[in-house]
């Protein structure tokens, strides 16, 4: 339970999206990409961390709060690791996924190592995987079963800055029903990730526990409108940063899922 409480506190902090500098683009982002660019790979969009977060924390001798305080879309996990005795990022990536060598489901160990290395070198990717636990590309595609509205209806209401609860209400669903449907959706995503070998059973359980613990906050947090999201991600200072004060209304709203 202490671990879940810690994860929930970090999750709520991530949902708050307090005003401050936004992302500089990850080095893997294509030229001209927005500051919130992420690869479209299923493992990224599903939040399937290729190693156990608990192993990362154990190897670096850090807590989840330490990770949350360090990662700001500019400082990488690899830089943090170097401060904690792991300067070789490739070696650390191999250490992180080593316990999964006996897992012969779907995803080759070499692929998991490559993904682990990406989490060490790409700050926004790492923050997304560790803390943006409701950001799923599959959610709009399953809008009917989760929210009771069509995909088009979900996207329209989301882009107007509605909360998940209000979107579900438009589909005739109560908050309690939405809570249960979201749990079922994320549990199914976890099962699919484990079956594909993209995430370990332990990490899948921990991820689902974090998602469940924060659902009450999530369903009442408004999405950013499409204009707010574009402003927040797209306006940068000369050094690649961004002042969210230039985008009114973005301080307490969620990134789009």
Quick one: tokens of 186?
């994320």
Residues 6 or more apart whose CB falls under 8 angstroms from that of 182 comprise: 146, 164, 211, 215, 218, 219
Which letter does DSSP use for residue 71 in this model? -
Residue 101 lies in a domain: yes
Clarify whether residues 170 and 113 are in a common domain. no
Distance between CA atoms of 136 and 172, rounded to whole angstroms?
23
pLDDT for the residue numbered 245: 45
Domain-embedded: residue 188: yes
- Return the SS3 of 31: coil
Confidence (pTM): 0.82
Instruction: Say if residue 229 is in the same domain as residue 193.
Output: yes
pLDDT confidence of residue 145 = 97
pLDDT, tens digit only, all 257 positions of the chain: 555 555 555 555 444 443 334 446 788 888 888 878 899 999 999 999 999 999 999 999 999 999 999 998 889 999 999 999 999 999 999 999 999 998 878 899 999 999 999 999 999 999 999 999 999 999 999 999 999 999 999 999 999 999 999 999 999 999 999 999 999 999 999 999 999 999 999 999 999 999 999 999 999 999 988 887 777 666 533 334 444 445 655 555 565 54
What is the domain count for the chain? 2
- Per the DSSP assignment, residues forming a β-bridge with 243 are 21
Q: Distance (Å, rounded) from C-alpha 217 to C-alpha 213?
A: 9
Residues 117 and 152 in one domain: no
| Together in a domain, 145 and 225 | yes
Which pLDDT belongs to residue 241? Answer: 41
144 in the same domain as 58 = no
Q: CB under 8 Å to 84, separation ≥6 — which residues?
A: 60, 61, 62
Dihedral sign, Cα of residue 198, residue 208, residue 34, residue 236: negative
pLDDT 10s digits, 143-162: 999 999 999 999 999 999 99
Note down the domain range covering 75: 44-132
Q: Give the CA distances from residue 15 to residues 8, 69, 97, 214, in Å, rounded to whole numbers and listed in that order.
A: 10, 14, 28, 9
DSSP assignment of 44-65 equals HHTT--SS-HHHHHHHHT--HH
């Amino acid at each position: 339970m202490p671990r879940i409480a810690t994860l929930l506190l970090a999750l709520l902090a991530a949902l708050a999206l307090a005003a401050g500098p936004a992302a500089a683009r990850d080095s893997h982002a294509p030229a001209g990409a927005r500051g919130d660019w992420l690869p479209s790979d299923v493992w990224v969009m599903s939040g399937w961390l290729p190693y156990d977060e608990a192993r990362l924390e154990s190897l670096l001798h850090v807590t989840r709060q330490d990770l949350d305080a360090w990662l700001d879309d500019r400082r990488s996990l690899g830089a943090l690791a170097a401060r904690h005795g792991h300067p070789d990022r490739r070696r650390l990536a191999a250490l992180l996924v080593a316990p999964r060598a006996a897992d012969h489901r779907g995803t080759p160990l070499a692929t998991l190592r490559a993904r682990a290395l990406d989490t060490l070198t790409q700050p926004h990717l790492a923050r997304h995987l560790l803390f943006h636990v409701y950001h799923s590309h599959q959610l709009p595609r399953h809008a009917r079963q989760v929210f009771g509205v069509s995909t088009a209806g979900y996207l329209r209401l989301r882009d107007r800055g509605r909360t998940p609860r209000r979107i579900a209400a438009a589909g005739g669903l109560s908050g309690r029903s939405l809570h249960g449907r979201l749990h079922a959706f994320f549990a199914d995503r976890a099962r699919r990730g484990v079956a594909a070998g993209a995430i370990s059973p332990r990490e899948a359980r921990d991820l689902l526990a974090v998602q469940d613990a924060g659902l009450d906050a999530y369903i009442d947090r408004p999405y950013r409108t499409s204009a707010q999201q574009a402003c927040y991600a797209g306006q940068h200072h000369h050094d690649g940063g961004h002042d969210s004060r230039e985008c009114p209304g973005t301080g307490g709203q969620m990134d789009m899922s």
